[in-house]
Amino acid sequence: MCHDAKMTSIEQHAQRLLDLHHQATPVILPTVWDAWSAETCASLGFSALTIGSHPVADSLGEADGEAMELAEVLRVVRRITDVVDIPVSVDLESGYDTPAEELVHRTLEAGAAGINIEDTVHSMDEMRSPEEHAGYIAAIRAAADATGTHLVINGRTDAFTTDAGPEAQLKDALHRLRLLEQAGADSLYPVKVPSRDYLEQILAAVKTPVNVTAHPVNGAIPGGLSIAELTTLGVKRVSFGPLLQRSLTDAMNEILQPWTPST
């Protein structure tokens, strides 16, 4: 009975998370890494959260890039979903070399309503082909649909992190994003978009909600775009990556500096 009730809650959270991607203003997803950060963000009134792989790794003294076991990451997810009553998405990097059906079931069992999957496969230190990544996303979509829960899939591409020139990066990114859209991704996440012009070209090329990364200072993302400007452009999702956690280092340094031992 308890398990059924929990699954109903996950179904509701997943639908709520999906709906948030289609409101007038972008859904703002603070990127958290433990129960404390999740409870802190939830207490401020945010509608949903996302768990970042890099912040989780840093909090546990591990390396990012799938150096941890999937089970260890999902234990963190479970701790977070147990203490907040809002939708939670989780960054599972490239999927930890896990078949789509297993990945979906384990993610839902941990209480997550959404999943972020990138195209850089860390075990091979290379990017999936556009078709291979889209195929994996399509398999996740099918596996999630089979459960009756609309797990919200954020399809990420690292096309702008390659050694190719800017125009080649943009062409590759657009190709990958279109394939992810066709594969059933609910939102598209091209990381490190280098300019507002490129962001506008991406937004014009796809109909699926687009995710950008926020900068933790004054609510602006790289390029100085405000929430109002992002809304006008048509961005639908904002997350923070590792930036939120890292910004706390400066705050801690400021608080602790007067108390440091004299040298």
pLDDT per 10-residue tile (average), the chain, 263 residues: 56 98 97 98 97 95 91 98 97 97 98 98 92 98 98 98 95 98 98 92 98 68 77 96 89 94 71
Tell me whether strands 120-121 and 126-127 are parallel, antiparallel or unpaired. Answer: antiparallel
pLDDT tens-digit map of 71-89: 999 999 999 999 999 999 9
CB atoms within 10 A of CB 168: 12
- Contact present, 112 and 90 (Cβ < 8 Å): yes
pLDDT at residue number 218? 47
Q: What is the pLDDT of residue 263?
A: 52
Indicate the helix (H) or strand (E) that contains 120: strand 120-121
Sketch out the chain's domains with CATH numbers.
Answer: 1-10+54-102+110-218 (3.20.20.60)
pLDDT tens profile 21-43: 999 999 999 999 999 999 999 99
DSSP 24: S
**Alpha carbons 202 and 130: distance in angstroms, whole number:** 16
- Pick the closest to residue 179 from 141, 233, 213, 123 (CA basis): 141
Of the chain, the end-to-end C-alpha distance in Å amounts to 61
* Secondary structure element (H or E) that encloses residue 237, with its range: strand 237-239
Q: Is 189 exposed, middle or buried (0-12, 13-18, 19+ CB in 10 A)?
A: buried
Tokens 């308890």 locate to 2
CA distance 141 to 13: 17
pLDDT at 219: 47
33 alpha carbon, distance to own chain's centre: 12
pLDDT of amino acid 2: 42
Predicted confidence at residue 220, as pLDDT, reads 47
Q: Enter the pTM of the model.
A: 0.93
Distances (CA, A) of 218 to 42, 47, 87, 225: 19, 20, 25, 10
Q: What are the φ and ψ backbone dihedral angles of 24, each rounded to 5 degrees?
A: -65, -40
Quote the pLDDT of residue 222: 59
Pick from 119, 129, 36: which is nearest to 84 by CA?
36
Q: Using an 8 Å Cβ cutoff, are 212 and 198 in contact?
A: no
